[in-house]
Amino acid sequence: MTVDPNNPEILTSVTSDIEAAAIVAALAAQGIEASTTGGFTAGFRAEAPGVINVIVRQQDLIRALQIFNHLKEADDLDWSQVDVGDPDKDDDGDD
């Protein structure tokens, strides 16, 4: 039986949609397409809290794991790579 390299694989599971979105964005920056499942139930308050799965293609799993492990080990955030918006622009929109 041949394995389809596009089969979805779970890279990791997290409890926050913000954390999941950050992982997906970091993978996208490295050319790996990822998505999430479970976001609708992760925020519910229940006996069994929901999780959000970060999904990648089977063919990208090993590289995605390397990138994810590097993210977990990183001590510092490279703020030069983070879009924090225009510091000279007011948030109220009346510049």
Give the model's pLDDT for residue 72.
80
Domain, as residue range, for 36: 8-75
Question: What percent of the chain shows pLDDT beyond 70?
Answer: 65
Instruction: For residue 40, tell me if it sits in a domain.
Output: yes
Dump pLDDT digits (tens) for 48-90.
Answer: 567 889 999 999 999 999 999 888 877 555 555 555 556 565 5
Would you say 12 and 72 are in contact if contact means Cβ atoms under 8 Å apart? no
With tokens 């001590």, the residue in question is 75
C-alpha 55/C-alpha 53 separation (Å) is: 6
CATH number of 67's domain: 3.30.70.1530
In a domain, 87, yes or no: no
pTM beyond 0.75: the answer is no
Average pLDDT over residues 23-50: 78
Q: Residue 66 falls within a domain, yes or no?
A: yes
